[in-house]
Structure 1
Amino acid sequence: MAQAMGRFSGGVFEGSFGSKTSRLNVCSKRVTSVTRFIVRAQHGKPQSSRRSVIGLVATGLVTGSFVQLVLADAIPIKIGPPPPLSGGLGGTLNSDEARDLALPLKQRFFIQPLNPSEAAERTKESAKEIVGVKKFIEKKAWPSVQNDLRLRAEYLRYDLNTIISSKPKEEKQSLKELTAKLFKDINNLDYAAKVKSSSDAEKYYAETVSTLNDVLAKIG
């Protein structure tokens, strides 16, 4: 019995010692593996940094060569002269006028009042510009028709009001009615250009020119 117990205890002790030994071996292996991993990671950082630097250099070289290729194949763009001043393009007269920067904004960007004789002269200039939209109608350049009409209509309205206010009472009413008909014809012509109707544009252009001649005859 005692021998059996001794064998049993010896087996237990041996097993326990053996297990401890195996546990120590496993722990030592783990520590070794962790240590090796840390060392390898530390060795891997310089390699990755070198690779990133090499990649950046390669990218820079490729980008530089691509830019040189694009610049070599670039097509020069020809820039033409500026448009003519004073209404060289449709609706550009107002933008071509000189601006005195020392003046207040109200005087710099708004139509200034003229005396009746000066207003009559500008009315004749506006009439010439309105008659000149015929070439845009023939070319079906509808935006140019609208731009010139609207620009000149503003000058006409302002100058005709100045002229009418200077006329005697017996002449004012007839000139007001004729002016109202003129702007109605201009609006009809503007709408014809908006809907791009060549037939209506020709019709209302003729009516506008006829009424415009009547107005010019009235103001002298």
Structure 2
Amino acid sequence: MASPMALQLCSTIPSPSLSSPQRRCSRPGHTTQDLQRQLNRRRLTAAAALTTAFLVKEAFSNSNNASSFEFRFTVPDQTLEEADAGVKVHARDLLQIKDFIDSKSWKEAQLALRQRSPYLKQDLYTIIQAKPGSQRLQLRKLYSNLFNNVSRLDYAARDRDARVVQECYMNIVTTLDEIFSII
């Protein structure tokens, strides 16, 4: 339905191409049907904007829905005891990629690295968060160094650069030894 103001601007003008008269606005090229379409588009746009705003609000406010966002990495669901129990196992699993490196199985080394490093990362993160502030800075630097070398090793394995892969692997071993000496 056209607004009353739009209807006031329109008058009945016979159209030469149509057998019945068509309403035209005082502005050239605009009919009441054009105004109707514009108003309908505006209504649909407003309804879509309101629906989107409502859905975004629901996604952030209702944590019981399956569609809600989860930020688990910032607050791990892992206790300190679980992290302590798993950190050595996950470090050993990460170091087992040496077999793939020695046999130059680059794809397998990458897959193993990508599968095993997240568990170690979460364990170390939990342990670092539980440490007193005086030890955290040093552990965070070692943590950063460790996982920077893991990333470098992944890229070097992709590029099949055996020298860089060996260098990164040795850095990982050294950094893990330093971390275990502190924790």
Instruction: Please give the TM-score of this superposition, normalised by the length of structure 2.
Output: 0.56
Tell me which residue corresponds to 1:43: none
Give the equivalent residue in structure 2 for 1:211: 175
For 1:3-42, what aligned pairs fall within 5 Å after superposition? none
> Aligned residue for 1:175?
139
59, 69, 80: which one pairs with 1:116? Answer: 80
Alpha-carbon distance between aligned partners in 1 of 2:178 and 2:99, rounded to the nearest angstrom = 22
1:193 maps to which residue? Answer: 157
C-alpha distance in 1 between matches for 2:172 and 2:147? 8
> How is 1:144-155 mapped onto 2 (pairs within 5 angstroms)?
144-155=108-119
Moved over 4 A (4+): none
Cα shift readout 1:61-104 (whole Å, capped 9, x = no counterpart): xxxxxxxxxxxxxxxxxxxxxxxxxxxxxxxxxxxxxxxxxxx9
Amino acid at match of 1:135: D
Using a 3 Å threshold, how does the CA distance of structure 1 residues 116 and 198 change in structure 2: closer, same or farther? same
Q: For residue 180 of structure 1, report the CA deviation from its aligned partner.
A: 0.5
Offset, 1:114: 2.0
Percent of aligned pairs with the same amino acid: 32
Q: Partners in 2 of 1:218 and 1:166 — Cα distance?
A: 13
Structure 2: runs of 5+ lacking an equivalent: 1-65
**3-state SS of paired residue (1:140):** coil
Q: Counterparts of 2:169 and 2:67 in 1: how far apart (Å)?
A: 36
Distance in 2 between residues matched to 1:170 and 1:209, nearest whole Å = 24
CA distance in 2, matches of 1:105, 1:182: 34
The structure with more strand, counted as a fraction of residues: 2
Give the structure with the higher percent helix.
Answer: 1
CA distance in 2, matches of 1:118, 1:163: 10
Give the 3-state SS of the residue equivalent to 1:114 in structure 2.
coil
Residue pairs, 1:34-183, within 5 angstroms: 113-183=77-147
Q: For residues 120 and 216 of structure 1, what CA distance do their matches in structure 2 show?
A: 11
Using the TM superposition, give the Cα deviation of residue 170 of structure 1 relative to its aligned residue in structure 2, in angstroms. 0.8
Structure 1 residues not aligned, in runs of 5+: 1-103
Structure 1 residue 113: deviation in Å?
2.2
> Number of matched residues?
113
Q: 2:157 & 2:166 partners in 1: Cα distance? A: 10
